[in-house]
Structure 1
Amino acid sequence: MKALIVDDEARVRKAVRLLVDWDAHQIDEILEAGNGNEAIEVIRGQKPALVIMDMMMESGNGIELMTWVNEFAGSTKFIVVSGHNDFEFVRQTVRHGGIDYILKPIEADAINTAVSKAVAAWRSEEEERSHRQQQSIRLNEIKPIYGERLLSALIDDPVTSETSLRRLVAENVIPGNAGSSRLILVQTDAGNNQLLKRFGGDSELLYYAIVNICNEFLQPQKKGIAFRYWGGPPEIAILLWDVQESVLELISRINQGIFRTLQFRMHFGISSTGSLPGQLARQRSEALDALMRRNLLRHEDYCHFASSAGEHSKAEQAADGSRAIFAHVQEDWRMAVISGNTEALSAAAQHWIDELSRGGVVTPEMLGSWKADALLFRSRLVREALGGEADSALAELELADRHNPAPYANGYSFSLFAWRDWSFALMQRLSQELSARQIKERNPLTEIVKYIDQNYQSDLSLQEVAGRFYVSREYVSRKFKQEYGINFSDYIGSVRINKAKLLLQNPNLKLSQISEMVGFHDVKYFSKVFKKQIGVTPKDYRVQVAP
Structure 2
Amino acid sequence: MKALIVDDEARVRKAVRLLVDWDAHQIDEILEAGNGNEAIEIIRQVKPALVIMDMMMESGNGVELMTWVNEFAGNIKFIVVSGHNDFEFVRQTVRHGGIDYILKPIEAEAINVAIAKAVAAWRSEDADRSERQKQSIQLNEFKPIYGEKLLSALIDDPINSELSLRRLRSDGIIPENVHSSRLILVQTDTGNSLLLKRFGGDTGLMNYAIVNICNEFLQGQHKGVSFRYWGGPSEIAIILWDIQTSVAELIGRINHGIYATLQVRMHFGISCIGSLPKQLPYQRAEVAEALQRRNLLIHEDYCHYSTSSEEFKERNETTKTEIHGNVTPTIFAHVKEDWKMAVISGSPDVLSSAAQHWVDELSRSGIVTPEILNSWKNDALLFRSQLVRETLGPDADSALAELEQADQLHPAPYTNGYSFSLFAWRDWSFDLMERMSEVIAAKQAKESNPMHDIVKYIELNYASDLSLQEIAGKFFVSREYISRRFKQEYGINFSDFIVNIRIDKAKLLMQNPRLKLSQISEMVGFHDVKYFSKVFKKQVGASPKDYRNQFKI
Which residue in the other structure is 1:269 paired with? 269
Quote the residue 1:258 is aligned against. Answer: 258
Q: Which amino acid aligns with 1:174?
A: I
Aligned-partner SS, 1:325: coil
1:442 to partner: Cα distance:
3.7
- The answer to whether the aligner puts 1:197 opposite 2:201 as a matched pair is no
Q: Secondary structure of the equivalent of 1:438?
A: helix
SS of the residue corresponding to residue 418 of structure 1 reads: helix
Contact conserved, 1:296 with 1:413, CA < 8 A, in 2?
no
Secondary structure of the residue that 2:239 maps to in structure 1? strand
Give me the whole-angstrom Cα distance separating, in 1, the residues matched to 2:417 and 2:199. Answer: 18
Equivalent residue in structure 2 for 1:365, among 367, 371, 390: 371
Q: 2:389 aligns with which of 383, 387, 390?
A: 383
Separation in structure 2 between the aligned mates of residue 166 and residue 275 of structure 1, nearest angstrom = 15
Gap change, CA 1:138 and 1:391, over 3 Å in 2: farther
Unaligned segments of structure 1, at least 5 residues: 2-27, 30-132, 445-547
After superposition, residues 309-348 of structure 1 pair within 5 angstroms as 325-348=331-354
Separation in structure 1 between the aligned mates of residue 439 and residue 360 of structure 2, nearest angstrom: 27
CA–CA separation in structure 2 for the residues paired with 1:394 and 1:237: 39
> Structure 2: 5+ residue runs without aligned partners?
2-26, 29-133, 451-553
Change (3 A) 1:139 1:257: closer
Q: Deviations over 1:156-209 (max 9, x none)?
A: 111000000011111111011101000000001011001000000000000000
CA distance in 2, matches of 1:440, 1:352: 31
CA distance in 2, matches of 1:389, 1:280: 51
Task: Flag the 1:388–1:317 CA change in 2: closer, same or farther, 3 A.
Answer: farther
Secondary structure of 1:160's aligned partner: helix
Distance in 1, matches of 2:447 and 2:277, equals 69
Aligned ranges 1:86-165 → 2 under 5 Å: 140=140, 144-165=144-165
- Structure 1 distance, partners of 2:344, 2:362, is 23
Residue equivalent to 1:116: none
What is the match of residue 291 of structure 2?
291
Name the amino acid aligned to 1:205.
L
Is 1:404 the equivalent of 2:410? yes
After TM superposition, list the pairs within 5 Å mapping 1:7-156 onto structure 2. Answer: 140=140, 144-156=144-156
CA displacement at 1:308 relative to structure 2 = 3.0
Secondary structure of 1:152's match? Answer: helix
8 Å contact kept, 2:182–2:243: yes
Would you say the 8 A contact 2:139–2:212 is kept in 1? no
Q: Which amino acid aligns with 2:370?
A: P
Q: Equivalent of 2:429, from 423, 426, 449?
A: 423
Q: Which amino acid aligns with 2:347?
A: N
Quote the offset at 1:274 in angstroms.
Answer: 0.3
**Residue 441 of structure 1: how far off its partner (Å):** 5.6
Over 3 Å counting, the alpha-carbon distance change for 1:261 and 1:441 in structure 2 is: closer
**2:159 alignment partner, SS class:** coil
Secondary structure at 2:307's aligned position in 1? coil
Listed one character per residue, the Cα deviations across residues 59-88 of structure 1 (whole Å, up to 9, x for unaligned) are xxxxxxxxxxxxxxxxxxxxxxxxxxxxxx
Q: Counterpart amino acid of 2:290?
A: A
Q: Look up the equivalent residue of 1:144 and give its one-letter code.
A: P
Matched, 1:187 2:194: no
Cα displacement (A) at 1:413: 2.2
Aligned to 2:511: none
Q: Could you report, residue by residue, the CA deviation over 1:352-410 in whole angstroms, capped at 9, with x for unpaired residues? A: 11111110000011001000000000011111111221111111111111111111111
- Asked if residue 394 in structure 1 is aligned to residue 400 in structure 2, the reply is yes
- The answer to whether the Cα contact below 8 Å between 1:181 and 1:241 also exists between their aligned partners in 2 is yes
Aligned match of 1:177: 177
The CA RMSD measured in Å over matched residues stands at 3.2
Quick one: distance in 2 between partners of 1:143 and 1:248? Answer: 27
Partner deviation per Cα, 1:419-475 (whole Å, 9 max, x = no partner): 11110110000000000001546499xxxxxxxxxxxxxxxxxxxxxxxxxxxxxxx
Report the alpha carbon displacement of residue 307 of structure 1 after superposing the two structures with TM.
1.3
- The answer on whether the counterparts of 2:270 and 2:306 sit within 8 Å (CA) in structure 1 is yes
| Distance (whole Å) between structure 1 residues aligned to residue 301 and residue 283 of structure 2 | 21
Amino acid at match of 1:431: S
CA distance in 2, matches of 1:224, 1:363: 29
TM-score normalised per structure 2 = 0.53
| Distance of aligned partners of 1:142 and 1:211 in 2 relative to their CA distance in 1, 3 Å threshold | closer
Q: In structure 2, give the amino acid aligned to 1:176.
A: E
Question: TM-score, normalising length from structure 1?
Answer: 0.53
Give the superposition deviation at 1:275: 0.4
AA aligned to 1:178 is V
Structure 1 residues 213-224: aligned runs within 5 Å = 213-224=213-224
What is the CA distance between 1:216 and its match in structure 2?
0.6
- The AA in structure 2 aligned to 1:209 is A
The residue number in structure 1 matching 2:93 is: none
Cα distance in structure 1, aligned partners of 2:138 and 2:345: 56
Alpha-carbon spacing, 1:316–1:438, altered in 2? closer, same or farther (3 Å): farther
Structure 1 residues 404 and 253: CA distance shift in structure 2, 3 A: same
The letter for the 2-side match of 1:247 is V
8 Å CA contact 2:141, 2:212 repeated in 1: no
Query: What does residue 231 of structure 2 align with?
Result: 231
Mapped to 2, the partners of 1:317 and 1:153 lie a distance apart of 38
In 1, Cα distance between equivalents of 2:410 and 2:352: 17
Contact conserved, 1:299 with 1:413, CA < 8 A, in 2? no
Aligned partners of 2:292, 2:416: CA distance in 1, in Å? 7
